[in-house]
Amino acid sequence: MRKSPVTHPRAVPVAAGVLTDASGRVLLARRTSGRDLAGAWEFPGGKVERNESPEAALKRELKEELGIDVLATEPLMSVPQHHGNKAIKLDVFRVTKYAGQPRGMENQALAWVPNGKLTSYPMPPADLPVVAALQKPAHYLITPEPTTDTTRFLRELDAALSSGYRLVQLRAKTWQEKPLKALLTLTVALCKKHKAQLLINGQLGLAHDFDIGLHLTSEQLMGLHARPLAARLPVSASCHNLEQLKHAQALGLDFVVLGSVNKTASHPDVAPMGWKTWQEMRAEVSLPIFAIGGLGPDDVAAARQHGAQGVAGIRAFWPNLA
């Protein structure tokens, strides 16, 4: 049975901006002493005032904090987050154009950080999903169960990868070990050709043998007491409730899939949780979460407004199934 998240006070609205320089470095500001989480690094911004839009708040805050005039923004994501007895809703925007040179107007330290090194800076929990959104793919392609026509399967996988997908889960639950190893050899080669990251569903031994990532079922997840692979290999899991989400985070998983958001043709008897419940559970953890269930590749923007890393799926992502 799905457990309901605990009740929290009304979320405080906060706006933050992602600024990049010509070399792609990202601007972080350090929280000054006397504030919650003092010393942590964050994306610059601040609280949204009454009767103020998040965009207007961002422009005001960055003028006050950095001395710049924000000229253009694009929505990146919205992150609901509960921390202790506090709740916030962080609306994050890419600042695509601004005038002036950012400087610490409130004596806060600033740092221009290469995108790939953002995770080495200690941050508040609400900022961590933003880092993931800047670094990781927004789509998680899950393959349908391969048929014995491996040539067709590999051709369709190649077409999917050619369209831009860079994070793939091979789901081959009915295959015997010997033919699966043969298929996996070809699948690994194809993913390397496209510079895509591959995870296999449920097969820890094969993940070790082929030096690839692992996707855990919710049952496998709850049976673990430690991360099953080295940090250099991605580990994800399917989650359906808050207990599973928290366990995945405690184990240090790289990301999870949470759903089903909407009703699906493949599981017509499963009641969808809907975006409200999905977002409430998202607020309790800070690890990246892909939304799944009745969603397609074009739903990334909507999913990110609920705090998702992106969307995952089979039918809407796979050639000749949509």
Handedness of CA 210, 211, 217, 222 (dihedral sign): positive
* Distance (Å, whole) CA 197 – CA 191: 7
- Which domains occur in the chain, in start order? 12-127 (3.90.79.10), 139-313 (3.20.20.70)
With a cut of 60, say whether residue 53 has pLDDT above it: yes
Q: What pTM was estimated for this model as a whole?
A: 0.92
**For the chain, what's the residue count?**
322
Report percent pLDDT > 70 for the chain.
97
Structure confidence by residue, pLDDT tens digits, 295-310: 999 999 999 999 999 9
* Distance (Å, whole) CA 216 – CA 222: 9
With a cut of 50, say whether residue 1 has pLDDT above it: no
With a cut of 80, say whether residue 22 has pLDDT above it: yes
**One-letter amino acid for residue 317 of the chain:** F
* Distance (Å, whole) CA 275 – CA 281: 10
With a cut of 50, say whether residue 50 has pLDDT above it: yes
Top-confidence residue, 186 or 321: 186
Half-sphere exposure of 28 (CA within 13 A, CB side): 24
C-alpha to C-alpha distances, 156 to 149, 195, 313, nearest whole angstrom: 11, 17, 15
Whose tokens are 């694009």? That residue is: 74
pLDDT grade for 23, boundaries at 50, 70 and 90:
very high
* Distance (Å, whole) CA 64 – CA 42: 16
Cα–chain center distance at 205: 26
- The token pair at 143 is 């393959």
- 150-162 helix and 177-193 helix, angle to the nearest 10 degrees: 30
* Distance (Å, whole) CA 243 – CA 258: 12
Q: What number of other Cβ atoms are within 10 A of residue 85's Cβ?
A: 7
The reported pLDDT for the residue numbered 135 is 96
Structure confidence by residue, pLDDT tens digits, 119-171: 999 999 999 999 999 999 999 999 999 999 999 999 999 999 999 999 999 99
Structure confidence by residue, pLDDT tens digits, 198-250: 999 999 999 999 999 999 999 999 999 999 999 999 999 999 999 999 999 99
pLDDT grade for 10, boundaries at 50, 70 and 90:
confident
Structure confidence by residue, pLDDT tens digits, 30-48: 999 888 889 999 999 999 9
With a cut of 90, say whether residue 268 has pLDDT above it: no
Select from 92, 6, 109 the least CA-distant residue to 45: 92
With a cut of 80, say whether residue 2 has pLDDT above it: no
Q: What number of other Cβ atoms are within 10 A of residue 176's Cβ?
A: 8
Report percent pLDDT > 90 for the chain.
89
The reported pLDDT for the residue numbered 6 is 52
C-alpha to C-alpha distances, 135 to 89, 116, 129, 132, nearest whole angstrom: 21, 7, 10, 5
The reported pLDDT for the residue numbered 8 is 62
The reported pLDDT for the residue numbered 134 is 97
Can you tell me the mean pLDDT for 11-27?
97
With a cut of 70, say whether residue 4 has pLDDT above it: no
pLDDT grade for 7, boundaries at 50, 70 and 90:
low
In whole angstroms, how large is the CA radius of gyration of the chain? 21
Buried-exposed string 12-37: b where 16+ CB fall within 10 A, e elsewhere: ebbbbbbbeeeeebbbbbbbeeeeee
